[in-house]
């Protein structure tokens, strides 16, 4: 069984309810499903370890130092997940009881972290409406700021920004906007945390060193376990004093890990070997987007200006729902076999984001062959849906 983004289904279907006969499955649901390469596994296996709660794991220390340097911050810690990294950051910034944070209303922190900032961190989250590029209106943001002097309100202790923006389709927030954000926040003495789960994708897109991109924010979390291909782990970076607080909070949340160097080693390997190649994921994402767009199907919409990194959001109009399209990609029809030929058919896994949108994500294990087959399949299905709709319209 090959497991490099494309997998053979000879040992039974990886997709429940879809009996397969050896066809290829191209899995484009998320970059979180990326797996370590043989070279990464070999590197991990040979790492030196120690007890990291005693601060004695040499590989983890090396990773943290390297990550801090890359991010242009004083210090960094390795954390089990991005969700924990964001929560630790919020708790470390909001150490007074009456704190609130300002956060985009489509952000991961607001939507997909179970409200951890409130649930565990007892912090009020105030949403500000996200624009389609992942930014938000800075006047709106500033209007929400309040200080402890106002006895009626929580005091604004942090602003969070996401880059690249997941829900907005992997968009990169512009540097001029980040600088303006910093200027506004500085006037009020409010720090900025970046949820940079995919911030390396942003740096590659902008052609900037990471440290320069992060010059406008105080702290950052980034994931090693997504496009960078490590099996587990994220980094939280910021000022020394902040990281000291973060180490304590990580422990109470259960994130103090022992011989974690084997995992940290994967992160080290990823930072040395898998950053520049993110460019390929971006190029391939665009190729798929353009292939779909070229078909000019009136029921499918892709905003090409928003296809910037490794995430592609496809919108459906009319009677076609995201779920219908997703399910169809998990089926091979007789017609498809006849038209494309046995060696050119495949199953494609994507995620439905909302009722009318699907999400396609590229990452290092998807092969050139996998992309070719998946693009062909998607084009075939787009055409099929388009034709069906046209027929129905003629009848009506």
What gap in Å lies between CA 165 and CA 297, rounded to an integer?
Answer: 27
> With binding defined as CB under 6 A, does residue 219 bind ligand PLP?
no
Residue from 81, 118, 315, 351 binding ligand PLP (CB under 6 A): 81
Residue from 82, 116, 261, 265 binding ligand PLP (CB under 6 A): 82
> With binding defined as CB under 6 A, does residue 229 bind ligand PLP?
no
What gap in Å lies between CA 116 and CA 209, rounded to an integer?
Answer: 31
Is residue 123 within 8 A of residue 99, CB to CB? The reply is: yes
Residue from 195, 218, 281, 336 binding ligand PLP (CB under 6 A): 195
Longest dimension (CA), the chain: 73
Nearer to ligand PLP, 9 or 166 (CB): 166
296 CB contacts (<8 Å, ≥6 apart)? Answer: none
Integer CA distances (angstroms), 396 to 317, 388, 392, in order: 18, 12, 6
Residue from 83, 216, 352, 357 binding ligand PLP (CB under 6 A): 83
* DSSP output for 344-359: G-EEEE-EEEETTEEE
Size of the site for ligand PLP (CB under 6 A): 12
> With binding defined as CB under 6 A, does residue 185 bind ligand PLP?
no
13 CB contacts (<8 Å, ≥6 apart)? Answer: 19, 20
What gap in Å lies between CA 359 and CA 361, rounded to an integer?
Answer: 7
Residues 319-338 contacting ligand PLP, CB under 6 A: none
Contact region with ligand PLP (CB under 6 A), list: 43-51, 82-90, 246-254, 370-378: 82-90
* DSSP output for 191-220: -EEEE-TTHHHHHHHHT--HHHHGGG-SEE
Per-residue binding letters, 232-261, with ligand PLP (x by CB under 6 A)? --x---------------------------
In the three-class reduction of DSSP (H, G, I as helix; E, B as strand; rest coil), residue 257 is classed as: coil
Cβ 252 to ligand PLP shortest distance, Å? 18
What gap in Å lies between CA 245 and CA 91, rounded to an integer?
Answer: 9
> With binding defined as CB under 6 A, does residue 310 bind ligand PLP?
no
248 CB contacts (<8 Å, ≥6 apart)? Answer: none
In the three-class reduction of DSSP (H, G, I as helix; E, B as strand; rest coil), residue 256 is classed as: coil
Cβ 292 to ligand PLP shortest distance, Å? 23
Nearer to ligand PLP, 104 or 370 (CB): 104
> With binding defined as CB under 6 A, does residue 34 bind ligand PLP?
no
Contact region with ligand PLP (CB under 6 A), list: 21-29, 67-75, 79-87, 350-358: 79-87
Cβ 256 to ligand PLP shortest distance, Å? 17
Interface positions with ligand PLP (CB under 6 A): 81-83, 86, 108, 162, 166, 195, 197, 223, 225, 234
């Amino acid at each position: 069984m090959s497991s490099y983004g494309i997998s053979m289904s000879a040992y039974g279907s990886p997709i429940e309810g879809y009996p397969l006969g050896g066809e290829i499955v191209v899995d484009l649901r998320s970059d979180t499903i990326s797996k370590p390469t043989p070279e990464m596994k070999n590197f991990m296996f040979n790492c030196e370890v120690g007890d990291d709660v005693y601060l004695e794991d040499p590989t983890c220390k090396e990773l943290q130092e390297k990550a801090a340097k890359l991010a242009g911050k004083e210090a960094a810690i390795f954390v089990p997940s991005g969700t924990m990294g964001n929560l630790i950051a919020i708790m470390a910034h909001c150490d007074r009881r009456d704190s609130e944070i300002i956060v985009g209303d489509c952000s991961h922190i607001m939507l997909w972290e179970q409200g951890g900032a409130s649930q565990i961190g007892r912090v009020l989250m105030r949403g500000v409406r996200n624009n389609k590029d992942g930014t938000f209106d800075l006047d709106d943001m500033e209007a929400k700021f309040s200080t402890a002097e106002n006895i009626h309100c929580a005091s604004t202790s942090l602003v969070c920004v996401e880059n690249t923006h997941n829900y907005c389709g992997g968009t990169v927030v512009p540097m001029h906007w980040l600088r303006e954000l910093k200027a506004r926040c500085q006037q009020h003495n409010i720090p900025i945390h970046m949820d940079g789960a995919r911030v390396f994708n942003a740096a590659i897109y902008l052609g900037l060193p990471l440290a320069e991109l992060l010059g406008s924010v105080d702290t950052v979390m980034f994931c090693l376990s997504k496009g960078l291909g490590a099996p587990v782990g994220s980094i939280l970076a910021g000022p020394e004093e902040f990281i000291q607080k973060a180490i304590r909070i990580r422990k109470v949340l259960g994130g103090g890990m022992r011989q974690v160097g084997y995992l940290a080693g994967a992160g080290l390997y990823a930072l040395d070997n898998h950053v520049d190649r993110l460019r390929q994921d971006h190029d391939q994402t665009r190729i798929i987007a353009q292939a779909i767009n070229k078909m000019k199907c009136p029921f499918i919409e892709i905003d090409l200006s928003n296809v910037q990194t490794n995430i592609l959001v496809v919108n459906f109009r009319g009677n076609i729902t995201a779920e219908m399209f997703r399910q169809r990609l998990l089926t091979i029809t007789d017609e498809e076999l006849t038209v494309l030929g046995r060696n050119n058919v495949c199953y494609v896994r994507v995620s439905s984001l909302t009722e009318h949108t699907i999400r396609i994500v590229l990452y290092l294990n998807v092969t050139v062959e996998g992309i070719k087959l998946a693009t062909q399949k998607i084009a075939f299905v787009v055409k099929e849906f388009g034709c069906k709709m046209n027929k129905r319209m003629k009848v009506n």
